[in-house]
Amino acid sequence: MIMGKQGALLAVVIFVSVLVGLAAGGNFYEECDATWEPQNCWAYDDGNRLSLALVSNSSGSMIRSKRQFVYGTVSTMIQLVPGDSAGTVTTYYTSSLGDNQDEIDFEFLGNVTGQPYTIHSNVYVAGVGNKEMQFKPWFDPTADYHNYTISWTPCMIVWYIDSVPIRAFRNYQASHGVAFPTSQPMYAYSSIWAAEDWATQGGRVKADWSKAPFVASYHGINLDVCECYGGGCVASCTAAFGDWGRYCSLSGTQVGKMQWVQSNYRIYDYCADPKRWINGQKPVECNLAQY
């Protein structure tokens, strides 16, 4: 249950079509539930905005969408924690339930004042990830709201910021045996929590708790997903996408923008890190086109 500003809460996940870009709308009261530390969240502006707070190293907050789904686009407008955010992590992701979860991640790793956030992305299938790609932002994510979108279709996953694709991960499961999330319904989540042991410079920089609470702000909520709660709806959601062809490529303009981001702002790619490869072999998908 999501309550109002006075000691109540909420947490957020925003869903919106990729093409909507920065549009916002909907009501957090109706679409989200707080699943961890609801006292550290509050909604306002008739439920159109909310704040999510990290109060101590053991007391942050998390929210989850009421709707479960297979495929669609999920987006949120976030203004990240301003100032010294070292040791904090604000997350926005989709995930199934259980230990062997499927998951698609946006994580925002805080830093000391004046240093850029790290934007972290990853994909898990049946509990196995190890597909990290990281970026530094080309804007100040604490100065205003920006739209973060995950597009998950039977053909590919694409991460967008303000409608600019920053990364794509294509479904090569049938053709090359690359694991891809296709069978487990997911929820959308957002959270803020302390990760002092690794979040900032490998854990060398800790959170300054004298500056707590650390607050991330959200605006608007929309859903553009195929609702699914198990059983036959997985096949139904897959069929609902019809001809996968229209989901299987980015436009030339989009590819150009993604290449610009990756050339200038990507700071880590698991495909370029031999220390992470198994038996010295580059992952199969790293040799295949992703868009």
Question: What amino acid is encoded at 95 in this protein?
Answer: S
Distance (Å, rounded) from C-alpha 134 to C-alpha 262? 9
Structure tokens at 74: 């999920």
Cα–Cα dist 76/53, whole Å = 17
CB 258, CB 252: distance < 8 Å:
no
**Peptide bond connecting 213 to the previous residue in cis, omega within 30 degrees of 0:** yes
Residues ≥6 apart with Cβ < 8 Å to 55 = 37, 40, 212, 213
Q: Which residue of the set 31, 37, 103, 285 is catalytic? A: 103
Contact 73/151 with Cβ under 8 angstroms?
A: yes
Cα–Cα distance between 284 and 250 in angstroms, integer?
A: 21
Q: Which of 37, 107, 132, 285 is catalytic?
A: 107
Task: Give catalytic status of residue 103 as yes or no.
Answer: yes
- Residues with catalytic annotation? 103, 107
